[in-house]
């Protein structure tokens, strides 16, 4: 048969096989990984790129990698030179100024050869819990990228199937949690190998020509579907402005601006008007900004649209160099996620008038990094831990924002307390919702959550988050969600901390991390009293708050809604 024809069965089989290959890469990575952040929180992604470095199949757990990963891989390969890569080679890279994001996200990329013919690349990205630098877990308030950990330009980490010991040792020496990290690196190698094997199997079955032909088809397919989805979007220009509360060194808010232009050839995002980059943890690399836009667009489309090159070609991002949305060397980037995720929120805000039903009110919209580390007195080993906490989601046109969930590009699991405590010298003394933290609205925002960490030994703790000045905005007369609170508790006394800081803890001291609630959607007075009643009886909202913010009076004795009082309260305005 001629390869130009498309057999719908074969098409579907090959498409699924490719996705399956990516999925298996993910499984291999997760199963063989050491760090909680990878094996449990699943902070990684895997993908297959064709020989022209077009993304074909992806297995994500983390949408934040959606844009960043697919930008980084082609740039890294071109920088190293495809001609310098042979069978069994793999290059390592995390360079923020070579298409990367923050230093913790390290990509490993290997060419796939069928015989002596290059057929594509398997690549996986993992968020390594520590990559050295100024604070354990490599998160913190830094002023330059040099302070954030090891910067890895594309280097040949695996040579003809053999790990380069010199490079491995050199990378590892910069890293605090050496044992876990070396395990995660090996897992990445395993992942790429698995992917390559699967790809080769597919080619064995269909032959190279068919294989390449159907890759084109798969991309064209996504292109077709994306075009249809884009056509459904409201045409026009939509703008919004917002900010990150502070930059970690000054209280000056960091202004963000976005302008979205939607027409037939796709969606253009323009962040002109955002603040200049700072010597502070608030700078997004272009890849991070691109990723925010890609995610937002993807979120507005049909759930089962397979993402590949055919989708990305509709995402156009204009981010002026030297701004917090496209920082240039040597700006620090780890804080960029705060900017990135806030940008997500802004995009939805901008689109809300045009697609009120598709968007939600302000969410947590911050990464909420909690990183800590120190020397484990038992093992004498240096341990590091990183997690990002959930918060309240924004209310939607027909439903409340869920309590304590991840938002937007972020979808990492919470680390099980038992796992954390069995691996690290820390005790989680509280893990609960924060009552009254929701943003009131006809559909209220979700509640924020509280997680308290108690350290029996000396430790270093880093908070890299935001929202301690302003809660997530409400939408259509909905109210703001509750602000975050970060505090250190020393023998009972609580002392507030900034949203971007690193502190030294003495044995017994506690860090209390309380994330913001989601913004409300629609006027609170329109909220169904029954729903309030539920919230109050569940203790999520207090009687007083119900009365003052929602105009709903609930009698403490009878535990009944006082219809009369409620009516008065609500008609009162």
Footprint of another protein on this chain (CB under 8 A)?
95, 132-135, 143-144, 146-147, 150-153, 155-156, 164, 166-167, 169-171, 173-174, 176, 279, 329-330, 375, 382, 460, 504
Angle in degrees, 0-180, between the axes of helices 543-550 and 529-537, rounded to the nearest 10: 160
- Considering the complex, state which of residue 88 and residue 266 has its C-beta at the smaller distance from another protein: 88
Between CA 498 and CA 383 the distance in angstroms is 24
Work out how close the CB of 119 gets to another protein at its nearest, in angstroms, rounded to a whole number.
25
- Considering the complex, state which of residue 84 and residue 429 has its C-beta at the smaller distance from another protein: 84
Can you give 331-353 as a three-state secondary structure string?
CCCCCHHHHHHHHHHHHHHHHCC
- Give, rounded to a whole angstrom, the gap between the first and last alpha carbons of the chain: 74
- Considering the complex, state which of residue 85 and residue 315 has its C-beta at the smaller distance from another protein: 85
Token pair recorded at residue 48: 């297959």
Please compute Rg for the chain using Cα positions.
24
**For the chain, what's the residue count?**
573
Work out how close the CB of 283 gets to another protein at its nearest, in angstroms, rounded to a whole number.
15
- Considering the complex, state which of residue 174 and residue 323 has its C-beta at the smaller distance from another protein: 174
- Considering the complex, state which of residue 277 and residue 484 has its C-beta at the smaller distance from another protein: 277
Cis peptide before 330 (omega within 30 of 0): yes
Can you give 465-515 as a three-state secondary structure string?
CCCCCCCCCCECCCCCCCCCEEEEEECCEEEECCCEEEEEECCCCEEEEEC
- Considering the complex, state which of residue 174 and residue 410 has its C-beta at the smaller distance from another protein: 174
Between CA 525 and CA 528 the distance in angstroms is 8
- Considering the complex, state which of residue 88 and residue 273 has its C-beta at the smaller distance from another protein: 88
- Considering the complex, state which of residue 160 and residue 303 has its C-beta at the smaller distance from another protein: 160
- Considering the complex, state which of residue 375 and residue 457 has its C-beta at the smaller distance from another protein: 375
Work out how close the CB of 452 gets to another protein at its nearest, in angstroms, rounded to a whole number.
24
Work out how close the CB of 173 gets to another protein at its nearest, in angstroms, rounded to a whole number.
4
Work out how close the CB of 170 gets to another protein at its nearest, in angstroms, rounded to a whole number.
5
Between CA 482 and CA 567 the distance in angstroms is 26
- Closest among 404, 378, 377, 397 to 481, alpha carbons compared: 404
Between CA 327 and CA 451 the distance in angstroms is 32
Q: Determine how β-strand 155-159 pairs with β-strand 162-163.
A: antiparallel
Work out how close the CB of 174 gets to another protein at its nearest, in angstroms, rounded to a whole number.
6
Between CA 490 and CA 425 the distance in angstroms is 18
Work out how close the CB of 87 gets to another protein at its nearest, in angstroms, rounded to a whole number.
18
Segment holding 71, helix H or strand E? helix 64-80
Work out how close the CB of 329 gets to another protein at its nearest, in angstroms, rounded to a whole number.
8
Work out how close the CB of 499 gets to another protein at its nearest, in angstroms, rounded to a whole number.
20
3-state secondary structure (DSSP) of residue 269: strand
Contact 293, 269 (CB under 8 A): yes
Work out how close the CB of 503 gets to another protein at its nearest, in angstroms, rounded to a whole number.
12
Between CA 532 and CA 560 the distance in angstroms is 11
- Considering the complex, state which of residue 131 and residue 196 has its C-beta at the smaller distance from another protein: 131
Phi and psi, residue 347, nearest 5°:
-60, -45
């Amino acid at each position: 048969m001629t390869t130009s024809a498309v057999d719908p069965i074969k098409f579907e089989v090959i498409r699924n096989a490719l996705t399956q290959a990516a999925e298996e890469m993910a499984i291999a990575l997760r199963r063989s990984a050491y760090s909680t952040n990878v094996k449990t929180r699943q902070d990684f992604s895997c993908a297959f790129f064709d020989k022209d470095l077009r993304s074909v199949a992806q297995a994500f757990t983390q949408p934040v990698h959606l844009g960043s990963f697919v930008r980084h891989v082609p740039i890294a390969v071109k920088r190293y030179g495809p001609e310098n890569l042979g069978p069994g080679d793999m290059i390592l890279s995390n360079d923020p100024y070579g298409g990367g994001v923050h230093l913790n996200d390290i990509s490993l990329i290997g060419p796939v050869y069928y015989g002596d013919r290059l057929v594509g690349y398997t690549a996986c990205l993992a968020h390594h819990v520590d990559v050295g630098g100024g604070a354990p877990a490599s998160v913190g308030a830094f002023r330059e990228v040099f302070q954030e950990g090891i910067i890895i330009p594309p280097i040949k980490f695996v040579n003809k199937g053999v790990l380069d010991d010199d490079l491995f040792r050199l990378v590892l020496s910069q890293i605090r949690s050496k044992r876990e990290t070396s395990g995660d690196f090996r897992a990445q190698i395993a992942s790429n190998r698995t992917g390559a094997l699967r790809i080769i199997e597919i080619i064995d079955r269909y032959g190279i020509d068919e294989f390449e032909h159907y890759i084109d088809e798969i991309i064209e397919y996504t292109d077709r579907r994306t075009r249809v989805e884009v056509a459904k979007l409201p045409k026009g220009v939509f703008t919004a402005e917002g900010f990150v509360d502070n930059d970690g060194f000054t209280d000056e808010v960091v202004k963000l601006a976005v302008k979205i232009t939607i027409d037939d050839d796709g969606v253009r995002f323009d962040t002109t008007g955002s603040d200049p980059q700072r010597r502070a943890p608030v700078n997004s690399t272009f890849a991070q900004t691109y990723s925010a836009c890609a995610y937002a667009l993807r979120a507005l489309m049909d759930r089962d649209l397979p993402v590949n090159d055919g989708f990305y070609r509709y995402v156009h991002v204009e981010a002026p160099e030297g701004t917090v949305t496209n920082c240039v060397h040597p700006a620090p980037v780890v804080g960029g996620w705060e900017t990135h995720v806030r940008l997500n929120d802004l995009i939805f805000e901008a689109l809300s008038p045009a697609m009120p039903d598709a968007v939600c009110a302000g969410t947590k919209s911050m990464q909420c990094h909690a990183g800590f580390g120190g020397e484990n007195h038992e093992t004498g080993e240096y341990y590091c831990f990183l997690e990002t906490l959930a918060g309240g989601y924004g209310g939607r046109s027909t439903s409340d924002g869920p309590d304590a969930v991840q938002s937007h590009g972020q979808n990492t699991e919470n680390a099980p307390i038992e796992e954390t405590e069995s691996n690290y010298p820390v005790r989680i003394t509280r893990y609960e919702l924060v009552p009254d933290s929701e943003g009131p609205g006809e559909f209220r925002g979700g509640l924020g959550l509280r997680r308290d960490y108690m350290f029996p030994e000396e430790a270093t703790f880093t908070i890299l988050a935001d929202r301690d000045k302003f809660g997530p905005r409400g939408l259509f007369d909905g109210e703001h969600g509750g602000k975050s609170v970060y505090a250190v508790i020393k023998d009972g006394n609580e002392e507030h901390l900034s949203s971007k800081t690193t502190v030294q803890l003495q044995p017994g001291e506690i860090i209390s991390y309380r994330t913001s609630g989601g913004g409300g959607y629609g006027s609170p007075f329109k909220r169904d009293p029954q729903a309030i009643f539920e919230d109050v009886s569940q203790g999520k909202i207090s009687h007083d708050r119900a009365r003052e913010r929602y105009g709903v009076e609930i009698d403490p004795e009878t535990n009944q809604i006082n219809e009369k009082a409620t009516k008065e309260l609500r008609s009162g305005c």
